[in-house]
């Protein structure tokens, strides 16, 4: 059973998410309403996954984000999914650069409405994937310039889908490309972003971080 610590200051949403998680086979070890309680609950229960709102008491600024980054600094393998009401570029960058960049997600709360997609996202993050909400990706794509200026329009499309957590096979289907074409585009992306030789998973994460990192 996957053990989860949930942090959300809204009582109705917290209770709703707890029930949803239990229904899909997760075990909610603790459900708390502020950042200090989140830190304490994780250290007590040692969960597999943390789901946290970004803005929580006491200051309603970035308490949840800072708690998540601190937890991943202490436990780099801890899977974390952050929920936000709005697109915040710095929040996405800070969280995704914590730990080694894997096993992390950044979602807008409205995405939780699609229950099956939300649960798939949680499982992807638990498996070490990096998932960023498509709306966040689209807005950051508009803002970003270097180092992405070296990429072709098709390579930018492929990188956008990588940032959303899609596999090579899913990218093939969405863009109507062959397996070889997707592999070539990804190879070009990694080369143009000057990413050092490493295993494919880590290089993909580094490409996503390059995509999301602030100027």
Q: How do residues 54-78 score in pLDDT, each as one tens digit?
A: 888 888 778 888 899 889 888 888 9
Strands 104-108 and 2-7: unpaired
pLDDT in the model for residue 214? 40
State the span(s) of the chain assigned CATH 1.10.10.10: 153-213
Q: What percent of the chain has pLDDT over 90?
A: 36
State the span(s) of the chain assigned CATH 3.40.50.2300: 2-144
Domain at 153-213, CATH class: mainly alpha
Q: How far is CA 2 from the centre of its chain?
A: 18
3 with 29: CB under 8 angstroms? yes
DSSP code string of 176-194: T--HHHHHHHHHHHHHHTT
What is 2-144's CATH superfamily?
A: Response regulator (3.40.50.2300)
- H-assigned helices in the chain: 11-23, 35-45, 63-74, 89-96, 115-126, 134-143, 153-163, 168-175, 179-192, 200-212
């Amino acid at each position: 059973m996957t053990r989860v610590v949930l942090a959300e200051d809204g009582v109705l949403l917290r209770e709703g998410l707890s029930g949803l998680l239990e229904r899909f086979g997760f075990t909610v070890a603790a459900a708390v309403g502020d950042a200090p309680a989140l830190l304490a609950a994780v250290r007590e229960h040692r969960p597999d996954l943390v789901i946290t709102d970004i803005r929580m008491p006491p200051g309603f600024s970035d308490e949840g984000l800072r708690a998540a980054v601190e937890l991943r600094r202490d436990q780099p393998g801890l899977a974390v999914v952050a929920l936000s009401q709005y697109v915040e570029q710095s929040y996405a960058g800070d969280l995704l650069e914590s730990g080694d960049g894997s096993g992390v997600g950044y979602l807008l709360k409205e995405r939780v409405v699609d229950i099956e997609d939300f649960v798939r996202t949680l499982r992807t993050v638990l498996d070490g994937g990096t998932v960023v909400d498509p709306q966040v990706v689209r807005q950051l794509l508009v803002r970003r310039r270097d180092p992405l200026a070296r990429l072709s329009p098709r390579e930018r499309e492929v990188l956008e889908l990588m940032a959303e957590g899609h596999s090579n096979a899913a990218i093939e289907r969405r863009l109507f490309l062959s397996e070889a074409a997707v592999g070539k585009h990804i190879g070009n992306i990694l080369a143009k972003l000057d990413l050092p030789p490493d295993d494919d998973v880590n290089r993909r994460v580094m490409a996503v971080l390059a995509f999301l990192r602030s100027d």
